[in-house]
Chain A
Amino acid sequence: MIAIIDYGVGNLFSVEKAFAALGTEARLTSNPSEILHASKIVLPGVGAFGDCMKNLQESGLIPALLKAVSGNTPLLGICVGLQILFDGSEESPGINGLGLLAGTVRKIHAPGLKVPHMGWNSLEISQPRREHDLFQGLSERPFTYFVHSYHAVPKENEIITATCEYGERITAAVAKGNIQATQFHPEKSGDVGLHILKNFVTS
């Protein structure tokens, strides 16, 4: 069973239904034991970095999440769920992220463009594609749906698996070990998004 961590932020309905559309059982949960025993974990996130971290802390789920990830359970972070994997964010100074990935989250610098970056943008997938990455089987530059004002700047460049162009190079996806994450919303990215989720399920 895939556990979608429910810590009171955002609209998780579409995430759950997207897995259901793939014929995969994925359940919203705020139960530490379900997270520890899940085959895979999805960490969603919407809103401000600080609010997400505060809610996650208050949910009491962080120890179970960290334990599962250190025990090699595959994790997929989505949107702010990607950002909080890092050390911290310009959006919420003084608030620590989960620190599972080294680096920080910065405001998008796109002179002349509107922020938030909202809409469809094409991915540039890092080469070489890795054997089990989320983008297997997709076209060269697939379109995905973004809604965000901040993006991750990893300390190690090589964990970036996809970028997009929006005034500057935006980190669109990262992967390290059993951790994968997307800045875009696969559950809102049509057939491309479902394909990415399917790759996560079958990887």
Chain B
Amino acid sequence: MYTKRIIPCLDVKDGRVVKGTQFVGLRDAGDPVELAKRYDEERADELVFLDITASSDNRDTIVQVARDCASEVFIPFTIGGGIRSQQDIQKMLRAGADKISLNTAAIKEPELIQEGAEKFGRQCIVLAVDAKRSGEGWEVYINGGRTPTGLDCITWIKRAVSLGAGEILLTSMDADGTKDGYDIALTRTVSEAVDVPVIASGGAGKLEHFYEVLAEGNADAVLAASVFHYGTFSIHQVKTYLSSRGLEVRF
């Protein structure tokens, strides 16, 4: 049976995970590999590392994170944050990342999607989109949600998929941080507009929220950060719940 995917997101700064302190028995709660291993044991289906390193001097620390993770954890993972060129993409993939995600750089330079997909295959080019409700639709924001682009979310995502994006990591800025649930309308609209998988992100607070966005929002996967890092639920609890509601998951 083909399954829905549950994906924890780890924020990484200067090579260290900056959340995720709830796990009992970790020698070092900031060690990306140790956390990745723990999530693998909990049956996370994939991992996303989001690099939030501010200083360009420390940009390569995330490459080492990818290399260390690929050496010890054998599930797929994506690296996002600060990827701006073909060289950056190649560096991450060579270091063992399975996919990279593009956000701001893809808006500024859409050819990055096309060239990346042609060179490395569309399955490893993930388009990350931060979307905020605007009138009847949703507007795309960049620079970590600080800068509105004036672009319609659905128009942009369709274009990115036609350029070669193989998967959409869709964050609702309205839902993010609220713990009131994923944005079902946004997720469903995007999922119906494109034929590539959609990962829903932003708003998870209760177990029902995961079910709703997967079943009603048509998401292929769900991403969450704080509910996992702070131990509100384990991955296993989420999967047990989804399974009890009739969704296929991997145990």
Structural contact, A17 and B3, CB atoms closer than 8 A: no
Of chain B, the residue at the smallest CB distance from A11 is: B93
Structural contact, B2 and A166, CB atoms closer than 8 A: yes
Bound: A69/B3 CA distance, A = 36
Structural contact, A47 and B220, CB atoms closer than 8 A: no
Bound: A165/B2 CA distance, A = 7
Which residues of chain A are within 8 angstroms of B75 by Cβ–Cβ distance? 145, 188-190
Query: Smallest distance from the beta carbon of B12 to chain A beta carbons, Å?
Result: 19
A187 at the interface (CB under 8 A from B): yes
Which residues of chain A are within 8 angstroms of B95 by Cβ–Cβ distance? 13
Contact for A118 among B74, B93, B123, CB less than 8 A: B123
Structural contact, A188 and B123, CB atoms closer than 8 A: no
Bound: A193/B250 CA distance, A = 14
Bound: A115/B67 CA distance, A = 29
Structural contact, B76 and A145, CB atoms closer than 8 A: yes
Which residues of chain B are within 8 angstroms of A187 by Cβ–Cβ distance? 74
Of chain A, the residue at the smallest CB distance from B121 is: A47
Q: 0/1 per residue, A103-123, Cβ < 8 Å to B? A: 000000000011111111110
Task: Kindly count the residue-residue contacts between A and B in the assembled complex, taking CB atoms under 8 Å apart.
Answer: 80
Which residues of chain B are within 8 angstroms of A141 by Cβ–Cβ distance? 1
Q: Please give the number of chain B residues whose Cβ is less than 8 angstroms from any Cβ of chain A in the complex.
A: 30
Query: Smallest distance from the beta carbon of B83 to chain A beta carbons, Å?
Result: 16
Contact for B3 among A116, A119, A147, A189, CB less than 8 A: A119
Which residues of chain B are within 8 angstroms of A14 by Cβ–Cβ distance? 70, 74, 96, 98
Bound: A173/B84 CA distance, A = 38
A95 at the interface (CB under 8 A from B): no
Which residues of chain A are within 8 angstroms of B14 by Cβ–Cβ distance? none
Structural contact, A121 and B195, CB atoms closer than 8 A: no
Counting chain A CB atoms within 10 Å of each CB, the highest count among B72, B121, B166 belongs to B121
Q: 0/1 per residue, A156-174, Cβ < 8 Å to B? A: 0000000011100000000
Structural contact, A114 and B195, CB atoms closer than 8 A: yes
Query: Smallest distance from the beta carbon of B19 to chain A beta carbons, Å?
Result: 23
Structural contact, B74 and A18, CB atoms closer than 8 A: yes
A7 at the interface (CB under 8 A from B): no
Query: Smallest distance from the beta carbon of B92 to chain A beta carbons, Å?
Result: 10
B206 at the interface (CB under 8 A from A): no
Which residues of chain B are within 8 angstroms of A190 by Cβ–Cβ distance? 40, 74-75
A20 at the interface (CB under 8 A from B): yes
Q: 0/1 per residue, A1-40, Cβ < 8 Å to B? A: 0000000000101100110110000000000000000000
Bound: A138/B10 CA distance, A = 31
Query: Smallest distance from the beta carbon of A147 to chain B beta carbons, Å?
Result: 5
A64 at the interface (CB under 8 A from B): no
Query: Smallest distance from the beta carbon of A54 to chain B beta carbons, Å?
Result: 15
Bound: A187/B94 CA distance, A = 15
B229 at the interface (CB under 8 A from A): no
Structural contact, B74 and A194, CB atoms closer than 8 A: yes
Counting chain A CB atoms within 10 Å of each CB, the highest count among B67, B75, B98 belongs to B75
Q: 0/1 per residue, B164-190, Cβ < 8 Å to A? A: 001100000000000000000000000
A143 at the interface (CB under 8 A from B): yes
Contact for A188 among B98, B121, B167, CB less than 8 A: B98
Of chain B, the residue at the smallest CB distance from A113 is: B2
Contacts A118-B167, A187-B74 supplied; 19 other A-B pairs, CB < 8 Å:
A11-B94, A11-B96, A11-B98, A13-B67, A13-B70, A14-B74, A17-B70, A114-B196, A118-B123, A119-B5, A119-B197, A119-B221, A120-B2, A122-B1, A122-B250, A143-B250, A189-B74, A193-B74, A194-B74
